Structure 1
């Protein structure tokens, strides 16, 4: 019975988000924990007359770890790749190389069965796209981006010369998109971010999820230099320190959630898409337009945001104005 209910979301992913057509080759990357998602997607791929191949990989040791070379090669040669894994492979050279070769990708990271039944996956993606694209235009090449929140965030950065990413949840050749989040983001210039991040909503990684206490990060010259807070802040600080990689502290992304159907549930791509939320990505930025490859990529999500780019107010106290 559950598989029948999941078919609606799978159909949306395959036909609307990935726009898969007859005779296309589709590589579905999964791990044992998310096999039911992969099977549901494969059924929907078959239904449109395309050919799915499921590649089961060992769970990665950490987010942003590369998939096996054979899987990366298959992604690069596919018409479409769909990543249905729990531990993210989004911010990897495998994804970067695949889209640069013309493939199009959908990332279903941290998916659970219920998300194909009732979640942001069932959003009206075409209707949401114009707002996403407008926010993307405002972020692109912005000389100064200023983010504040009622919880204490006060962060400035520059995206001069940087292209933005309007991730509408629908992809064309040479693009990838996380789903169900609908988001516009940009990777700021390395070294340009300064101020304070106060994550009050979610850090949907390493067992943290929806925050019980605020996590406060000091940012100097594009890098997090201090992390304060309670138990969850210690989890984040200890995890980053364990990577033995200074690049994990890099301010890699500022992203705006724009999916009206997303709700906070502690899972990555649902939380990041909550309408009017803002997330600061840290670590790897190579798939977003930056230059940094780190041992991980995590997102710190906040609400009640105000976001201004070169004098244009994009969000005011959580209300998207564009």
Structure 2
């Protein structure tokens, strides 16, 4: 890696540790990496040491998919940390180890699909505190809402019940014990009531994990789960991915999320950036542990739609990439 590239990447690392995690001198900072992302972890370690944190870096073999449990020894280290940054190949978020670490008070920034481009393309270089104000307003609307309706020009029309559900803001700011966030993916999300998601969705943004969509994938939801997947090669990829989990719950809707990063772009920096782009919406399926759903599954997938029109209780929340928060 050349010196100029390293300098810019370390600038992004510093922003994560300073603004997002608020790492303090003498705090126990765990850098969790795997053999694919160790070089990124080393830069976080250097910045953490400059900030006078007590830095420990671990390198594991990559897990096989998002939500897989890390080795037990790493799970124990996570519980002992004050702050964790996890640039890894696959997400640790939807794992019992992550939940145990959060319950123990660790602040966690998780960065699945971590790669150089994400640290260089500008998607991490945003004012997280300013975006937090908007995400908090959005979360309040979702928290107080009863029904969401989502439509698109391609023919999407989905309804879901969110009565009594707590919104989950992911602002990039993890200053409180137990807080988590996956920058550059900043968003607000809410779990639909189990069995309530109904309708048709055209996925024309991205499939995460997977890739940006080359052609739309038509999904039909009945009683809260996918009952039909139609389309070309992207639809086939999704069918094979979900079948590989060999578990019926991976087809259940557990999240409605809205991307809130004004500098993120689908298809550019990685899969966390795919679901972060402002003006997109995604439905998460599978494991709902992070969002307050009772659905448990061995994995979690996000299905991203571009340019949705979103209504909460009949009031317009988003249209033509404009959000209405007042």
Q: Give distance in 1, aligned partners of 2:7 and 2:276.
A: 26
Q: Could you tell me whether the CA contact under 8 Å between 1:142 and 1:160 is conserved in 2?
A: yes
Distance 1:65 1:136 in 2: 28
Equivalent in the alignment of 1:188: 192
**Aligned match of 1:174 in 175, 178, 188?**
178
Q: Distance in 2 between matches of 1:219 and 1:20?
A: 43
Instruction: Select 2:43's aligned residue among 25, 40, 44.
Output: 40
The corresponding residue for 1:246 is: 248
Q: Work out whether 1:56 is the aligned partner of 2:56.
A: no
Shift of 1:142: 2.4
2:103 to 87, 100, 103: 100
Q: Do structure 1's residue 265 and structure 2's residue 267 form an aligned pair?
A: yes
Please give the per-residue CA displacement for 1:272-298, whole angstroms capped at 9, x wherever unaligned.
111111011111110121122212111
Question: Unpaired runs of 5+ in structure 1?
Answer: none
Q: Secondary structure at the match of 2:112?
A: coil
Would you say 1:198 and 2:202 are equivalent positions? Answer: yes
For 2:304 and 2:283, how far apart are their aligned partners in 1?
7
Equivalent pair of 1:262/1:275 in contact (CA under 8 Å): yes
Q: 2:143 aligns with which of 136, 140, 145?
A: 140
Runs of 4+ in 1 over 6 A off after TM superposition: none
> TM-score, structure 2 length as denominator?
0.95
Aligned partners of 1:119, 1:94: CA distance in 2, in Å?
30
Contact 1:253 1:282 in 2 (8 A): yes
Equivalences for 1:299-318 in 2 at 5 Å? 299-318=302-321
> How far is 1:168 from its partner?
0.8
Tell me how far 1:141 sits from its aligned partner. 4.6
Q: Is the 8 A contact 1:6 1:114 kept in 2?
A: no
1:232 partnered with 2:231: no
Q: Name which of 73, 80, 105 aligns with 1:70.
A: 73
- The aligned counterpart of 1:109 is 112
* Higher deviation after alignment, 239-248 or 287-296: 287-296
Deviations 1:188-211 (A, max 9, x none): 111111111111011132xx3111
- TM-score, normalisation: structure 1: 0.96
Unmatched 5+ stretches in structure 2: none
Alignment partner, residue 281 of structure 1: 284
User: Aligned pairs, how many?
Assistant: 320
Q: 1:120 aligns with which of 113, 120, 123?
A: 123
